Amino acid sequence: MILTLTPNPSIDRTVALDAALARGQVHRVASVTSQAGGKGVNISRAAVSADIPSIAVVPAAKDDPFVLELLGAGIDCRPVRPAGDVRVNLTITEPDGTTTKLNSPGAEVLPLHLELLAQAVLVRAAAADWTVLAGSLPAGAPAGFYADLVRRLREVGGRVAVDTSDAPLRALVDALPVCAPDLMKPNGEELASFTGGDAELLEADPSAAASAARQLLERGVGAVLATLGGNGAVLVTPEGAWHATPPPTTVVSTVGAGDSSLFGYLLGDIRGLSAPDRLALAVAYGSAAAGLPGTTIPQPSQLRTELVGVTALTPSTGGTP
């Protein structure tokens, strides 16, 4: 079972344009889609599609349309008292796959709201194969919320994965090794944010990305899945490092691709796959998601895992030390 926490969920509204975006101009919209979303929610959606039990903890009223949509999709949603309405995020996609996101901050939370979320996770974590803490934090939340929750989860048992960015990511890294999760999933930009490297270089060079990711292992993190956009992903564990290249993909929307990649890795772990095969499944999920509109989560039948190329990285090219 995969338990997810999305402390700052959103209604994801995607506007697909039929031409390139030009500031200050009038555009014709090809389509508009809207979906209850957020990183943890997306992972729970993927789990349901793959017949893996999942519980999604979100701050929302029980009768909120956001919750009702998730329940209607077969997701075991556990709403927790919210500070306000679920925020709305707007994504603009262009024909060449370029994605522009406009994310609203959401309602400002109080310590009470955060503790209710934490308790909803802590009471269920021991029964989960993985607990996933994912996404941004709501306004008013301290940057160290995830770091503190990882520490508390360590006390109740179970494995923890974290996918976040900006201040919450920096706070988590600063708190290592005391608050080290079993898995972190940064992208190139996020890796660069705490290693001081160049984000474009890390995305283009798997060796550099693996070296940066290894810094997290040296500080107690169990494994790092670093997604590199069109260059696939790198996995670094205590046993080794690998790079996976995606199958040929016509990018439609990159929204949710990283969430799908993380789920693919977790699914491979639950199935007992080897590290290279877990990485291959992660990249297959991420590339399939990138080829779908909006935040659509791929079905298992849409994966092309056999077209993912996985290469072991040697010590001289970013592999194990």
- Give the residue numbers annotated as catalytic, written as ranges: 259
Q: Which residues have C-beta within 8 Å of that of residue 99, sequence separation ≥ 6?
A: 91, 92, 93, 253, 254, 255
Residue 185's CB is within 10 A of a number of other CB atoms, namely: 26
Q: Is 49 strand, coil or helix?
A: helix
Separation of alpha carbons 261 and 231, rounded Å: 13
- Chain position carrying tokens 């349309």: 65
Separation of alpha carbons 52 and 75, rounded Å: 11
Cβ pair 122, 27 in contact under 8 A: no
Helix-strand-coil percent breakdown of the chain, rounded to 5? 40, 25, 40
Separation of alpha carbons 285 and 260, rounded Å: 5
Q: Name residue 33's amino acid.
A: T
